[in-house]
Amino acid sequence: MISNLKKHPGLTSGLFLAFVVFLCFVLTFVFEGVGIKDLAISSAENDELIYYYEVAGVINYGIPQGFFGYYEVSARTLSFGPWSPLLIINYCILGKLFGWSLTKAVFYNAFMLMLAVFLFGLLARPGKYQTVFCAIALSTYTFLMYGIFSVVPEVTCYSYSIIYMGLCYSSLRENKRYKTVLMFSLAFLLTLMRPYYAGLMIPALYFWYKRRGKGVIIPGALLTVASVYGYFFIAVNLCAWSPVGGFAERLIPKLELNKDNIYFLCSKISVSLLAGGGDMIRRLVHGLYASYEQLVVFFVDEVWARNFFTFYYIFILLVLLVILTWKKRSSGGKLTDSFLWRCFWPAYYTLMTLAVALYFSGWSADRHLAEFVVMGIMFISMETGESGSRKWLFALLELGLIYALTKVPNREREYVSREYINEIYEEKEELEKIMPLTYTGEPSWDNTVFWMYKDKVDGEEVIIPWRALYAIPDGYAFNMTLGDEWFDHLKEKNAKMRSKYFATVPSGDGEEWCINNGGRKIAEYGGIVLYQLH
């Protein structure tokens, strides 16, 4: 057994890293004193509810049988939020093979991450110190475990990014065609999930260039542009609202793709690109200014310190810059493959600041920065601890990294009681009888539940206990409103609610609206009431 491991240098590292992830997975239950079932509906963000039902709809019916979206005006299949439906691809594949539930989603996340770090070790072949550094960094990065114990698809992005990093280091060692093809495939898939991954095309293009020469520049650039545009096209035509404010609607045409209008696609794309370019630049400038204001707040009164990714992101960037300077001196400033490779990552991290500013401002950037932090961990792990003479740097970086990951506040995970979980599951059995799915082979408003994120009870704002919505039968979809502004919209437009069901808190303005509009209460449980409107 030991002799076989010695024949494959990366196998030991891969197995060790996978074991570390598994150990963190198990120890989380031990230290927090909970079981896997206690995590089942303890989601911290309501996005997880949506992803869960999207996957359930795909697995059971091919597509969800209702509409996801906001305010019923942006409803489409697989469309909750501005992010690509491709984010749930791993869940759909694994769920189809092994079944789908909230607890199984947690196991799938753990499996995907374990597989990713195993492949990284196998491909990158880190040395002893590099492997240990990577293991400690991953185990102290609590958001990684936070991602595993949820149904948000960030773990898919983490996993693909880690495998991509392994392919990069493998190509630095031996540049082979199949590795470049895999790098392009992963970069293309990640870009279709989130457009800022387009930067991952650059290393793939570089390795392709080293093998093929200058002839790859134009096709490579076209492939990169196509992948970014492909993401936005999917987002505008399949998602509930377009990303980055309103500029995407002007950049990209919204089409019902059929034989009557497919011929006009190219001309519409050209016109849309010209119309939307200026708006995109204005949005970027606004985002940068908003991020600058948030950064000032962080340093003045520590309000932003709640988002520990801010500190960690800056820490990673500084370390990358130190490594870049160090490598430049050791290489005599020559443009070697390794030196160019190490130039790329600090530049990429810097550009990601612009990308995050384009999309977000403030604390909502955490998930997206986290994806690059994971890649930063893999990069720093490979660039330190290469030999015994650099143990001092290894030790310093390790201490700094552990401090960054453990001392800056992390988001808390809340658990609901076992009794509450049992109540939800029992109610699900009842609701399957009361509100059977109307199956027509395509989405229907009869299979859509409209819910209020916030309602008013006796003049006070109350957030709906949305975890209770997990009792809704699989195949249903959700539309939502943040508050009672939706009622004003209906009154203004003299419109009727298209969703068949309405969920809110008892004795609130939402329930009063349901009663006044002929709604029939069909269930009350878990802190919510459920009405059938028509």
Question: What is the C-alpha to C-alpha distance for residues 275 and 254, in angstroms, rounded to an integer?
Answer: 14
Angle, CA of 393, 395 and 399, to the nearest 5°: 115
Q: What pLDDT is attached to residue 261?
A: 40
CA distance 367 to 470: 23
pTM, whole model, 2 decimals? 0.79
Q: What is the pLDDT of residue 123?
A: 93
Give me the pLDDT at residue 304, please.
42
* pLDDT score, position 302: 41
Task: Give the span between the Cα atoms of 57 and 62, in whole angstroms.
Answer: 7
Whole-angstrom distance, CA of residue 224 vs CA of residue 103: 37
**pLDDT in the model for residue 159:** 92
- CB proximity list for 193: less than 8 A, separation 6 or greater: 83, 84, 86, 87, 156, 157, 231
Q: If you write DSSP's letter for every residue of 126-187 in order, what string do you get?
A: --HHHHHHHHHHHHH-HHHHHHHTSS-THHHHHHHHHHHHHHHHHHHHS--HHHHHHHHHHH
Q: In which order are the strands placed within the sheet that holds 448-452?
A: 69-70, 477-481, 448-452, 501-504, 528-532, 520-525
Paired with 477 in beta bridges are 448
What is the distance between the alpha carbons of residues 248 and 357, in angstroms, rounded to a whole number? 16
Q: Which residues pair with 463 in a beta bridge?
A: 454
Domain ranges of the chain: 2-33+82-407, 49-81+418-534
Largest CA distance in the chain: 79
Q: Which residues of the chain have pLDDT under 70?
A: 1-7, 36-44, 73-84, 142-143, 213-217, 220, 224, 227-342, 350, 353-367, 384-414, 484, 486, 489, 491-495
Distance, CA of 11 to CA of 119 (rounded, Å): 9
Per-residue tokens: 453: 């994120």
Cα–Cα distance, 142 to 521 (Å, whole number): 42
